[in-house]
Amino acid sequence: MPCMTLDSTALAKVARDLSGQGRRLVLPVREGPELFYREGADPEALDLATIPKNSVKEFFFPKCDTILKYRYTGSEVEVEDVTPPVEPTVIFGARPCDAASLSVVEPLWNWDYKDKFFNLRRENTLIVTYACRRAPEEACFCVSVGVSPSSEDGADVLLLPLDEARVAVKFLTDAGREVQAVFEAYKTGEADDAALQAFAEEGTVSLSHRKKLDKVQGWLDKHFEDPLWEEKTFQCIGCGTCTFLCPTCHCFDIQDESVFDGGSRLKSWDGCQFSLFTLHTSGHNPRNVQPQRYRQRILHKYGIYPSKFGKILCTGCGRCVSHCPVNLSLYDVVATAQERAEKGE
Amino acid sequence: MEEARQEHGNNGAAWEPRIVAFICNWCTYTGADLAGTSRMKYPPNVRVIKIPCTGRFDPLFMIKAFERGADGVLVSGCHPGDCHYAAGNYNARRKFTVFRKLLEFLGVDMERVWFSWISASEGGKWVDTITRFTETIREKGPFAEYREMIDVG
Amino acid sequence: MSDRTERIREIARKWLADGAVEAVVGWAEGTLGGRTAPVLIRKAEEADRLVWNEHCTNNLMTYLKRAPVQGMASVGIVAKGCDIKALVGLIQESQVPREKVKILAVTCPGVRGAGGTVPVKCRACDVQTPVFYDEIAGEKIDSEPDPEARGQELAKVDAMNPAERMAFWRKELDKCIRCYACRQACPLCICSRCIAEKNQPQWVETSPHPRGNFSWNLIRAYHLAGRCVECEACETACPVNIPRMLLNRAMARTVKEAFDYEAGRDPEVQPPLRTFQLGDDNSFIL
C-alpha cells in the first residue's frame, strides 16, 4: 500500500506545526561539531545529519528527578507525593535505535513497580522516528542486536528519507494516525512498497559487516572468569560516559537533600562503571577493579536482562563506542565473545 | 527578586540579610567577643562559625554557605605575622587569592565575599566590618540566584 | 610519524626484554577511524602494538592511579611533553616516586582532536621536544608557541559582566551529568576517595541539578588550581561538551599572576598552595 511523501524541506515546518498543537518540541540540533536532542529549540534548527550525542533517555528518565518532597512540622513529617511535570511532547527526528530503546526498557519500568515517572512521560510523548538510509556513524551496530536502520519499534510516525528531497511517511500507531493531517498538509507524492523495501535494504547492507550477536549470552554463561575481561578493558578509566549516554542503561541513585525544615528525595543517574558502585558498608567491594565492572556491564546487557525480559539491553546505537574517551569498543568486546562462541571456544 | 525577599523560612517576615562569618578562634573571634563585652551595637544578621585558624578555611565552606542560604560570606583571621599557629593565615591568604578569582570568573558578585584581618583587640573593627557588610548586602538583596539553582525536571 | 613508531617499539621492546619495567603503557591502533586506544603490554613481542600518530591524544599518566599500574614497581609510559608535565606534578606531590616511571618521551608536532581540530594546548605548546624523560623517540622540534592562544579563550568570559558570566556558567554547568569523566581522565585527580564521593559529611551534592553541578565543577577547578597542566584530557572526555578548560586556564592564569608559578615544569619546586611569601597580595583583605 503506497504511503505519502513530502519534501525534506517541509520537515521543520511539520515539527513547528506539531508543536503548535500544544506540544513541547524535542528535536536534534547542532551545537558546535555535534548534534544534541534539545527541548525548546527552534524547529528551523532541525539537523538530521547524524545520530545525536545524547539519547532520548533524558526525556523519559531525567538525569535528576524529584520523586517526593517532605517537610518537618514539629515532630512530624509531611510527605508530598510528586507527580512528574509532564506535558504533551513530540520527539521529532528520533533515530530508530533511540525509539527502539523505549520498548527495551519499558518492561523494566513496569516490572515489580509501575514507575509513573517513566510511564507518564512515555504516555504523553509522540515519537516521530527518522530512519537511517545508511548507518550514520562508523560505530553503529543496531543490526547486531535485532534493531535496524529503518526499525518501526517505538515509533508513532516513521520518516524514511528516500533521497535528498523526498521523505516517505508511515503512520504506525493510533497516536501517529491522529497527527496524519499535519503531515498530509505537505504531501507532494506517494511511495510504493518497493521503494520502502529498497530503502530498508540499503540500510541493512550498510551494516553488513556487523556480526549478529546471538551466541553471546551462551558464551557469557560459561566464561565469567575469562582472560578476555582483563585483556580488553585495560584502557577503561571508569568514567560514566558509556552508561550515561546509553539509551538503555537505567541505574539510579536516590538521595534526600534537605534544607532547614524540609527537602526532596531525588533520583539521579548512577553507573556500574564507577569504582564505588558496589561498595558495601562493611568496606568490601566485590567489583573493585575495572575488568570486573566492565564484565558486569556486558553480562547485564547481553545475559541477565535478556533472561529476565527477553530483550538485549542494547540497541546498537554505538554511542558507547564513539564517545568513549579511551576508545574501548563494547562492540569489539561482544563481537569477540561471539566469534569465540562460534568457534566453540 | 521581591518574591525572594519574602522567602519561606522567615515565617512570612520581610527578608533580612543572612551573613555567615568564618572567623578564627584566636583573633577575630576574640575581637568579636570584646565587641560584645564592651556592649558595642551591631546588626544581628551575622552567624558566626568559629574555626581554629583561617588556615582551616576551605572554599567548600563558602559554597555550602551559599547553598544553604547565605547572602554574604566573610572570612576573617589574625593579621599576617600574628597567626597563633605561625603561618596558617599565610596559607589561607593564598587560598583566598585563588578562590576569589574563581568565584569572580563564575560571575559571583565579589561584594558578597569579604576577607579581613581583625585582631583580638579590634572589637571596633569587627563592629565596623559587620555593619558595613550587612548594609552592603541589604542593598544588594538576597543571593537567591545561587540558592535557587536547583530546578529539576 | 612512522620513525617515531619504530623507535617507540624499539625502546619498549628493549625495556621489556631487559626486565627494566614490568609493563609499558602506550597507544595502540583504535577501533574507530581517527582514534588510538591506550594499551598495556607486558612482553617484548607485544611492542608492535604500539603506534604513534596525530591521534595519540590521551594522557597516559592517568593510568598511574589505577590498577594494575598503581601496584607495579616499575612501568614504562609513552608520553608527549604535555603528559610529562602531569608526571612532574605527581612527583612534586610525592604521589609517584620518580624511579617508578621510565618515561618514553615522544617529540610531538601536535595532536588532532575530533574533526581534525588543533587543540589550544598544541598551539600554545613549548614542550614539543620534552626536557624531562628517560629515552626519547623522534627528531627534535623547535617550538613556536602562540602566546595568545590560551588568553584568547579566556577573553570571551573576561568580557562578560558578572550577571552574564553567571548566566553563561549556569547554562554550561546545567549540562553536567556527573559522569566524572573529567576526573577519571585527569592524571592529577588522584584522591583515592574523591571529595564528591564522601558522604559523612556530604560536602558536594551528588545530584546533577544546577546547584550540585556548580559545587562539583567549582571544587574540581579549585582543587586543580596550580596543579592542572592543561593537557585537556578533561574537556576531551566530557560527553556533554562543557568548556571546562576555561575554568582550568583561569586558575592557571591566577596562579601565574599571583605567584609566578606554572604547573609541571620543575619537580623540585614546591606547589604554590603549599607555600607562601610574606609579600603575597594582601590588597583585597580589609
Q: A271-330, pLDDT tens digit by residue?
A: 999 999 999 999 999 999 999 999 999 999 999 999 999 999 999 999 999 999 999 999
Residue C189's alpha-carbon distances to A252, C62, C183, C224, C228, in angstroms, are 24, 8, 6, 8, 9
Spatial separation of the C-alpha atoms in residues A337 and A314, rounded to whole Å: 16
The reported pLDDT for the residue numbered B1 is 41
Neighboring chain A residues of B152 at a CB cutoff of 8 Å: 62, 64-66, 266
Q: What is the pLDDT of residues B72-94, one digit of tens each?
A: 999 999 999 999 999 999 999 99
CB contact under 8 A, B60 and C167: no
Of A238, A274, A327, nearest to C31 by CB-CB distance is: A327
pLDDT for residue A184: 96
Those residues of chain B whose CB sits closer than 8 Å to some CB in chain A are 9, 68-69, 152-153
Contact C169 B91 (CB under 8 A): no
Q: Which helix (H) or strand (E) holds C50?
A: none
Q: Which residues contact residue C183 at a Cβ distance below 8 angstroms, ignoring those fewer than 6 apart?
A: A239, C189, C194, C196, C220, C234
CB proximity list for A215: less than 8 A, separation 6 or greater: A337, A338, A341, A342
Q: How many residues does chain A have?
A: 345
A325 to chain C: which residues are within 8 Å by CB?
58, 181, 185, 233, 236-237
pLDDT of residue B5: 45
d(CA A89, CA C90): 50
Q: Quote the pLDDT of residue B3.
A: 46
Other C-beta atoms closer than 10 Å to the C-beta of C260 total 9
Nearest residue in A to C116, CA atom: A33
Whether the Cβ atoms of residue A28 and residue A37 lie closer than 8 Å to each other: yes
pLDDT higher than 50, residue A2 = yes
Q: In this predicted complex, what is the ipTM?
A: 0.94
Q: Express each pLDDT in A89-124 by its tens digit.
A: 999 999 999 999 999 999 999 999 999 999 999 999
Residues of A in contact with C58 (CB under 8 A): 325-326
> pLDDT tens, A224-270?
999 999 999 999 999 989 999 999 999 999 999 987 788 999 999 99
- How far does Cα C233 stand from its chain's mean position? 5
Measured over the CA atoms of residue C82, residue C84, residue C86 and residue C92, the dihedral's sign is negative
Of A65, A259, A260, the CB nearest to B153: A65
Cross-chain CB nearest to C180 (options A240, A245, A289): A240
Instruction: Say yes or no: C181 contacts chain B, CB-CB below 8 A.
Output: no
Give the nearest chain C residue to B99 (CA atoms): C222
A56, A70 in Cβ contact below 8 A?
no
Is it the case that residue B4 has pLDDT exceeding 50?
Answer: no
**Residue A82: which residues within 8 A CB-CB, separation 6 or more?**
A66, A67, A68, A69, A264
The C-alpha cell at B61 is: 565552606
Chain C residues within an 8 Å CB radius of B127? none
Q: What is the pLDDT along chain C (286 residues), one digit of tens a residue?
A: 579 999 999 999 999 999 999 999 999 999 998 899 999 999 999 999 999 999 999 999 999 999 999 999 999 999 999 999 999 999 999 999 999 999 999 999 999 988 889 999 999 999 999 999 999 999 999 999 999 999 998 999 999 999 999 999 999 999 999 999 999 999 999 998 999 999 888 899 999 998 899 999 999 999 999 999 999 999 999 999 999 999 999 999 999 999 999 999 999 999 999 999 999 999 999 9
| Domain definitions of chain C by residue range | 2-137, 149-274
Domain extents in chain A: 3-205, 216-263+272-342
Q: Which three cell numbers stand for residue A46?
A: 532541525
B94: contact with C, CB 8 A cutoff? yes
Residue B10: what pLDDT?
A: 55
- The distance of C162 to chain B (nearest Cα, Å) reads 4
Q: What is the pTM of this model?
A: 0.93
**What's the burial of A221, exposed, middle or buried (CB within 10 Å: 0-12/13-18/19+)?**
exposed
